[in-house]
Every structure is written in C-alpha cells, then in structure tokens.
Amino acid sequence: MTAPILLTPGPLTIALATKQSMLRDWGSWDADFNRITARIRERLLEVVHASATHECVPMQGSGTFSVEAALGTLVPRAGHVLVPQNGAYCQRIARICRILGRSVSTIDYPEDAAVKADDVERALIGNPAITHVALVHCETSAGILNPLAAIAAVVARHGRSLIIDAMSSFGALEIDARTMPFEAVIAASGKCLEGPPGMGFVIARRESLQRAEGNCHSLALDLHDQWVYMQKTTQWRYTPPTHVVAAFDTAIEQFLAEGGRVARGGRYAASCRTLIDGMAKLGLKSFLAPEIQAPIIVTFHAPATPKYAFKSFYDAVKARGYILYPGKLTTQETFRVGCMGQMGARGIQGAVDAVAEVLAELNG
C-alpha cells in the first residue's frame, strides 16, 4: 500500500533519496559524520547570507527545542521580550519566556490579522525596558505571513534585538542577513528544507553568542555551550540524531539542486495558487485575505453541510491518499492544507480532486 501524502506543515512527505540516507548507521564522533554536521552548518548560513556575521548551532529535538534554546541563551535573565501574537506559535514563545522567568509583553491580534510594524514601534517607544522582539515569520495556526522586513527595520532603528521564528519560512521565503538585521533566526529540519523531523538549528549573531555564556536555564539547551563545544571538537555535545542529520544533509543537497530558496518558494507558491483556486471551485473559502496568506499552509472554512465532521472528512480524504491537518482556530470551524513537501505525480491537484470526491459523497 502506498503511504499517503502529508499535507501538513511538518513533518512532510520527503523525497526517496532523503529517506534512503537514513539506512546507514553513523558513529556520532566519527570524522565523516562530523564533516556532515559542518557542511550542514555552512550551507544553512548561506541560505540566509549570514556566513560573515552569524554562526549556525544545530540542536537535537523538534523546532520548539531550538526556540527555547535561543530564548534561554540569547535573552539575558534581566531581558524583556516583546511578542506580537496572532496564533498558537507566538503564544508558545510568550509561554516559554514566562516559564524561563524572562519578562514578556505581548501585542495581541485576531487570528486573521498580520502583525503591524507601527504597533511594534509604539510598543518599543512606550517601554524602553524591552530588549528583544520575538516574531513568528509565518504563523502556521492560520497561515499568516507577518511583515518581517518592516518589523526588522523598526527593531533595528530602536536598537533592540530581533529573534525570528522561521520554522515555516526558512528556505522558501526571503530572509537576508545582509539587508535584514536580526540577532537570531530559528528553524528545523522537517519544514521547507524537506528533511525528516528531529533536529532544529539557530543561526545566531556571532557577537551575541560570544556574550551569552551563563544566560541559559538549561544544560541541554545551552546554545553557547553547544557552539563552543562544536567549535573546539567539531562534534555535538550529546548524542545527535545521526540518521536525521545525514538525511537532512541529503535534503539540503536536493534543495540546492532544485535552485535554492527562489525555486523552492516558487514551487510552494504555485501549489498554493492551485490549492486555493481549486478549493474555491468546490465552494471552500480560504480563511485569510490573499495579501497576508503565506504559501506554506492554507486554512479553509469547513464545508457548509450539516453532514460535515472533521474526523470523518479527514478519514475519507486519507483513504484517497492525502493527510490533512486540523484547524487550530478557536472561533471558527476550519481545516488546513499544507503546500510543502513532495506532492507526488499528481501534485496538489490530486488533493483537490480527493476533497472534491469526498464533498460529492457528503452532498449526495
């Protein structure tokens, strides 16, 4: 039986070559494996043009592990983080800050509204104690694309530091350290670079890492310690997910062969257009306005039929070869469809066709 295609924001359906890379066992201290780690670190810096100014520190675990590592290491214990919130992942950042004992302020938006740079500027002017702004670039709760460049300019103008959660944008949407000031950008293997889940990474300004010793609340999540150890030994401090690292290296190789960020982002954008247009013909309306819709995951209003229930809808679409994602909104009934990953020969149109068949059964 053919495995269904994942239409989720991660994990994704990954290429066969990436899967095959996990068939070999690696010694975590072996020189060949250490060269893989070094190559990954170098190439990730190049994706955002940060080789001259930043360091890439990989971290075991899901993306949230790396978010917590970045906040706990780069924000001093007396620091104050401003978190603009328009979804669950922004809220998670604020929660992490509170658990870590870092002062935190929020700017709260509805789940269908993007963050506004002017609001961030007013908050920074109104509270000189704020040291950092933590922004989710693409908030996958609804699929919102927040205006990163405008917010980065505001944060830099006011002399504060910007930490970017780029989980669902790194490798597909533009982030350029040469023109966009940031202290750190955080992402993970199982997103737009189409590797398996299991490791994250933080691209942090070199000077920020150098002065971060002693900040972290945790031994395992101490980015400074991880970075220093890697610089000295080329090795991970503690046992890395060796198979995931090797597969991620293969995934990055394919990313570069495809044409890098421009090609990857273009493929996702084309899938997003096909998806939204196709679903509209079925009477399914996307939740967000087009100008704030990221080409990563799309939230749709539930079908307007009394027979609809997400679980049975999900199961019927899965039986046709596609796995959807539940809605994360609290005020309206929705479901989500991802545009990332290897979509198979039929592409995203195959998913639209599967939904059409299920809707026909519901309405029949």
Q: What is the mean pLDDT of residues 145-161?
A: 98
Q: Tell me the pTM.
A: 0.96
pLDDT in tens, 237-258: 999 999 999 999 999 999 999 9
Q: With 90 as the cut, is the pLDDT of residue 9 above it?
A: no
Half-sphere CA count of 123, side-chain side, radius 13 A = 25
Q: What is the pLDDT of residue 2?
A: 81
Sorted by where each begins, the domain ranges of the chain are: 5-9+261-363, 16-257
pLDDT in tens, 56-83: 999 999 999 999 999 999 999 999 999 9
Q: With 90 as the cut, is the pLDDT of residue 10 above it?
A: no
Q: What is the mean pLDDT of residues 184-189?
A: 98
Q: What is the pLDDT of residue 232?
A: 97
Q: What is the mean pLDDT of residues 263-290?
A: 97
- Band of pLDDT at residue 106, cut at 50, 70 and 90: very high
Judge whether 328 and 336 are in contact, CB under 8 Å.
yes
Q: What is the mean pLDDT of residues 31-52?
A: 98
> Residues near 323 by Cβ (< 8 Å), separated by ≥ 6?
4, 5, 6, 7, 8, 314, 317
Please state the φ and ψ torsions of residue 278, each to the nearest 5 degrees.
-65, -40
Evaluate whether 5-9+261-363 and 16-257 have a shared fold.
no
Q: What is the pLDDT of residue 1?
A: 59
Cis peptide before 11 (omega within 30 of 0): yes
Architecture of domain 16-257: 3-Layer(aba) Sandwich (3.40)
CATH class of 5-9+261-363: alpha beta
